[in-house]
Structure 1
Amino acid sequence: MIKNTLQKIYLGLIFILLYAPIITLVVLSFNNSKTRAKWGGFTGKWYVALFQNEQIMNALYTTLIIALLSALIATLIGTAAAIGIQAMRKRVRTAMMAVTNIPMLNADIVTGISLMLLFIAFRFSLGFATILMAHITFNIPYVILSVMPKLKQTNRRTYEAALDLGASPIYAFFKVVFPDILPGVFSGFLLAFTMSLDDFVITHFTKGPGVDTLSTKIYSEVRKGIKPEMYALSTLLFVSVLILLILVNVSPSSKEGSTRKYVSKKSKAARFVFRRLVPAVMAIVIIAGGFFYGSKRSVSGDNQVIVYNWGEYLDPEVITIFEEETGISVVYEEYETNEIMYPKVQSGAIAYDVVCPSDYMIQRMIENDLLAEINFDHIPNIKNIGTQYMEQSRQFDAENKYSVPYCWGTVGILYNKKMVEEPIDSWSVLWDETYKDNILMQDSVRDAFAVALKYLGYSLNSTDLDELEAAKALLIEQKPLVQAYVIDQVRDKMIGNEAAIGVIYSGEAIYTQLENPDLEYVIPKEGSNVWIDSWVIPKNAKHKENAEAFINFLCRPDIAKMNFDYITYSTPNIEARKLIEDPAIRNSTIAFPDASELERCETFQFLGDENDVLYNELWREIKSK
């Protein structure tokens, strides 16, 4: 009795672990609030918004088409390769299988980088074709692995007997051998399809601008948080898989014919629907949907501009308006961090026309001669950018020749007024044991060190080893008090009252206050970081005039205001600020702090490769304690 009870409890725990995350995701897909930390009421609007979101739908169908095509081609090549390997001598066959297994044992990141370098060396343009070739490449070994055991089980004498009876080799293969290995071939296809569907790392390194799969699209949204439309899509995918599993398990059994002499027409029709019609309809839906959504973003010729921007850092409607007004097609790609963006621009593998790096990265790109000077005669709307922001830009672009400010903000402390004892005005609160396990720190080497360095009274651009060691010791001392090192999670945790204090970007603070009025943001008295993200044009850009037209368009007050409403990060566009209807936002000290507060702030600077290595080494020491 006790044993049965324990077994049921154990089984129940397994089901909870497996399905609790899925149930949570399904519930969130019906949450009227954009944040997971707050229930805003029941709604189905995210499902409607999903099918209106061309970027997500395009990523979905790109994922499905690549998975389907790569699985089919890999299955054909892998099956043929397995047959060839099986026909080899034992020693050669063993050696070939060992070579075949290497890609499966290899780390995905190694495979991804290797394929990227190979494509670059042969001057392939990274895009849909390179992703497809990469997926076929890493899928083939899985097909071989699935087919080989079935080949070993086949009786070669039966095949030879068919030849002796006058059958051609091809006819004998398809009538004698293929039916025996078909389960292995089908398993290889399913495995290849699943591996392709789920891949991120290899896709990330081999994709080009304007091409996204679901995995890369979701990853690019990390900075601003996953869209609720993604919850809706994930729910639909789960339900689709569940329905397919039910159909497969309730479909008429193939054994019915062996136990009964007569098979009804109804049974035959049902078997045809389950085995032939359903897969055919699914394939048609995937291909038709892919062409429908893919054609909307297709571009050709020189009348285009290739944009490389942070994830969720521009209102998609702005792109539509720009294309309609100018006739210039926009190829849009997103990245997650400056450090991911830089090597892709530096390699020259993709000729981006417009990129939006942060201040210190712009300085690094200028020093490494990666940027072209902007012709400001083509950007008359630069007049709308406040002079103070142009002056601040001189800290990383000394002559204002290479960049145009897009968004700016500060780093500060967000705290819950109901969870702290008194108003906060200093970084010192991050070392207060009163708030142990209630403190959220940025999981970023420069941001974390900036907090410690400013608290100690040093520059956040310090390269003095003694100062950096002191900051490291301070961060190690703080570590037992920290609930978590986070990036985007700080928003939801603070909105949901899961922490009392968090280090956050000012643009995120505006959003969190709208969701939870108990939250307050402050720039500590010791000073902080004031940052600027600006538009630049890489030196190898192929459509420079189109790039300048795009930047000029974004400097238009109404367009700048649209982007401010969408991303909530402060705009340097003075005229756009005047268009903000809500006076509480227009005059917000978070979005637009007083000049006296900014006097205590510094902009990050590029400290050189050696100092970057030093910072990263110290950060690893902190995280390993």
Structure 2
Amino acid sequence: MKKNLLLALVALLLAVFSTACNNNQEKRSSILKVYNWAAYMDESLIPEFEKWYEQQTGEQVKVILQLFDINEVALAKIEKGKEDFDLVCPSDYTIEKMLKADLLLPIDTSYFAATNTPNYIGGVSPFITNALNTLSPAGKKLSDYAVGYMWGTIGVLFNPKFVSAEQASSWAILWDPKFQNKVLMKEAVRDVYGVTLIYANADKIAGGQRTLSEVYNDSSDEAVATVEDYIKRLKTNIAGWETDFGKEMMTQQKAVLNLNWSGDAVWAIEEAANVGVELDYIVPEEGSNVWFDGWVIPKYAQNQKAANYFINFMCRSESAIRNMDEVGYVSAIATEEVLESRIDTTLSETVNLTYFFGEGCDSLYVDGIQYPDIDVIERCAVMHDFGVQTPKIMEMWSRVKGDSLSTTWKITMGAVLVGAIITIYFTMRKKKKSRRKTNKRR
């Protein structure tokens, strides 16, 4: 009797546990956790996707959007924290690193056929797919695990009132003593590292002794030492390190040069024009970086189906156009609808975009900052993961960052520190006097 009662109790507990697990699983399958850069999409598309997903699949889903501002933070959350994000939008070298570490699931377009949903992922430009595949580790094809989202270049945002286009067309301008305390640099080690190596090896690249890609992705001890030396020489020109406020500083004319991403440059140029300030952007002649961000599905994802549908939805021409209009960066989608939306016949110069949109697109009136001419692309390299040299490069970065503040910023920080010490001193004195008075009253 007791044995039968015990078995019945165990069976009941298992049934309750199984029901709870099923309910939790069902609840999680109705949620899509998206991890993206801040201000990197038209967020009005999210509720539209939720409705579209239900129309396509008959299932409901709720998108939860979380934001990051550094690739390494996003990587650590998945690699070490094992967080169950369903979708992440990291940069090229981070995708390469994630794939090497077996942290990604393949993109699965078979879901769409089951619901007669068009495969919009096919609208991604072959240029984007081929560039991403140059990062493929042995035995894997990166485009099987990532879908391009946005892309752009790294160059110089400058104020023509103080800097000529000819000056800005060379990385040498960042080291020019004429611009002491006038240069804003990106708080991005890989961007600064690569640009510095290109400048330091410009003669070898021009002479054919080394390729641009070899130089840009050189992480040898010698290259690390070279970068450290050149950045230390640059320190008197640096007004500050920034990840986002540089475009505002340039718009307000508080700096005249800014190492910048093309999308931020477009935003800054438009905002500056609204207040009567002229800004411009150039990719220097020595060469630079063409970068890519893409959608990936981490191995800990709990809702792979909705993740694939979300990627597909973001690849629609309408979604791509709205995202570009919202953030200023360039979509990886190369459909006729996207091209038509970018044509601007008021422009005076044409751009050769055959590499992106295909034949017949060699003289298009489009924004040459958003869509760089083929000549610019041919002098740009794709960034790879630093691999085992990453810790050494980060140590170098910490050293030069700690020893590269401009004199003005040092004085400002010193004044703030002195002020803080004085405030603490008088606060402590006040408290001490107060305790003495209290003791006397007692």
Whether these two folds match at TM > 0.5 is yes
Are residue 358 (structure 1) and residue 91 (structure 2) matched? yes
Contact in 1 for aligned 2:28/2:302 (Cα 8 Å)? no
Deviations 1:45-88 (A, max 9, x none): xxxxxxxxxxxxxxxxxxxxxxxxxxxxxxxxxxxxxxxxxxxx
Mark the structure with the bigger radius of gyration: 1
| Structure 1: distance between partners of 2:386 and 2:76 | 17
| Structure 2: distance between partners of 1:301 and 1:469 | 49
SS of corresponding position for 2:393: helix
Counterpart AA for 2:339: K
Counterpart AA for 1:362: I
| Structure 2: distance between partners of 1:301 and 1:466 | 50
| Structure 2: distance between partners of 1:557 and 1:519 | 30
Give the C-alpha shift of residue 367 in structure 1. Answer: 0.6
Contact in 2 for aligned 1:561/1:579 (Cα 8 Å)? no
Are residue 604 (structure 1) and residue 416 (structure 2) matched? no
SS of corresponding position for 2:263: helix
Counterpart AA for 2:172: S
Counterpart position of 2:151: 408
| Structure 1: distance between partners of 2:109 and 2:51 | 23
Counterpart position of 1:578: 339
| Structure 2: distance between partners of 1:528 and 1:334 | 28
SS of corresponding position for 2:298: coil
Counterpart position of 1:487: 243
The residue correspondences of 1:376-455 to structure 2 (distance < 5 A) are: 376-378=109-111, 380-397=119-136, 399=141, 400-421=143-164, 423=166, 424-455=168-199
Counterpart position of 1:370: 103
Among 598, 605, 614, the residue aligned to 2:392: 614
SS of corresponding position for 1:516: helix
Q: Kindly indicate which of the two structures has a greater share of residues assigned to helix.
A: 1
Counterpart position of 1:334: 67
Are residue 496 (structure 1) and residue 252 (structure 2) matched? yes
Give the C-alpha shift of residue 624 in structure 1. Answer: 2.6
The verdict on how the C-alpha distance between 1:473 and 1:555 changes in structure 2, with shifts beyond 3 A counting, is same
Q: CA RMSD in A?
A: 1.8
Contact in 1 for aligned 2:153/2:261 (Cα 8 Å)? yes
Q: TM-score, normalised by structure 1?
A: 0.50
Give the C-alpha shift of residue 499 in structure 1. Answer: 1.0
Deviations 1:362-383 (A, max 9, x none): 0110011000111134461122
Counterpart AA for 1:429: I
Counterpart AA for 1:425: S
Counterpart position of 2:209: none
| Structure 2: distance between partners of 1:558 and 1:356 | 19
Aligned length: 326
The residue correspondences of 1:105-144 to structure 2 (distance < 5 A) are: none
Are residue 530 (structure 1) and residue 283 (structure 2) matched? no
Deviations 1:146-196 (A, max 9, x none): xxxxxxxxxxxxxxxxxxxxxxxxxxxxxxxxxxxxxxxxxxxxxxxxxxx
The verdict on how the C-alpha distance between 1:569 and 1:501 changes in structure 2, with shifts beyond 3 A counting, is same
Counterpart position of 1:20: none
Deviations 1:214-251 (A, max 9, x none): xxxxxxxxxxxxxxxxxxxxxxxxxxxxxxxxxxxxxx
Counterpart AA for 2:222: D
| Structure 2: distance between partners of 1:300 and 1:579 | 42
Give the C-alpha shift of residue 496 in structure 1. Answer: 0.8
The verdict on how the C-alpha distance between 1:537 and 1:422 changes in structure 2, with shifts beyond 3 A counting, is closer
Contact in 1 for aligned 2:28/2:303 (Cα 8 Å)? no
Q: TM-score, normalised by structure 2?
A: 0.71
Counterpart position of 1:32: none
Q: Kindly indicate which of the two structures has a greater share of residues assigned to strand.
A: 2
Give the C-alpha shift of residue 549 in structure 1. Answer: 0.6
The verdict on how the C-alpha distance between 1:528 and 1:378 changes in structure 2, with shifts beyond 3 A counting, is farther
Among 264, 286, 305, the residue aligned to 1:508: 264
| Structure 1: distance between partners of 2:103 and 2:81 | 9
Are residue 302 (structure 1) and residue 29 (structure 2) matched? yes
Deviations 1:115-161 (A, max 9, x none): xxxxxxxxxxxxxxxxxxxxxxxxxxxxxxxxxxxxxxxxxxxxxxx
Give the C-alpha shift of residue 392 in structure 1. Answer: 0.6
Counterpart AA for 2:75: Y
The verdict on how the C-alpha distance between 1:569 and 1:549 changes in structure 2, with shifts beyond 3 A counting, is same
Counterpart AA for 2:229: A
Counterpart position of 2:116: none
Counterpart AA for 1:465: D
| Structure 2: distance between partners of 1:432 and 1:534 | 36
Give the C-alpha shift of residue 468 in structure 1. Answer: 2.1
Contact in 2 for aligned 1:558/1:579 (Cα 8 Å)? no
Counterpart position of 1:344: 77
Q: Which has the higher contact order (CA 8 A, sep 6+)?
A: 2
List alignment gaps of at least 5 residues for structure 1: 1-298
The residue correspondences of 1:470-481 to structure 2 (distance < 5 A) are: 470-481=226-237
Contact in 2 for aligned 1:348/1:540 (Cα 8 Å)? no
Give the C-alpha shift of residue 422 in structure 1. Answer: 5.1
Counterpart position of 2:369: 590
Counterpart position of 2:46: 319
Contact in 1 for aligned 2:88/2:296 (Cα 8 Å)? yes
Contact in 1 for aligned 2:313/2:319 (Cα 8 Å)? yes
Counterpart position of 1:555: 315
List alignment gaps of at least 5 residues for structure 2: 1-25, 55-60, 113-118, 202-213, 348-364, 404-442
Contact in 1 for aligned 2:220/2:389 (Cα 8 Å)? no
Give the C-alpha shift of residue 331 in structure 1. Answer: 1.5
SS of corresponding position for 2:331: coil
Deviations 1:237-292 (A, max 9, x none): xxxxxxxxxxxxxxxxxxxxxxxxxxxxxxxxxxxxxxxxxxxxxxxxxxxxxxxx
Give the C-alpha shift of residue 506 in structure 1. Answer: 0.2
SS of corresponding position for 1:574: coil
| Structure 2: distance between partners of 1:534 and 1:373 | 13
Deviations 1:303-340 (A, max 9, x none): 23211111111111110110122232212111111111
Contact in 2 for aligned 1:472/1:622 (Cα 8 Å)? yes
The verdict on how the C-alpha distance between 1:523 and 1:581 changes in structure 2, with shifts beyond 3 A counting, is closer
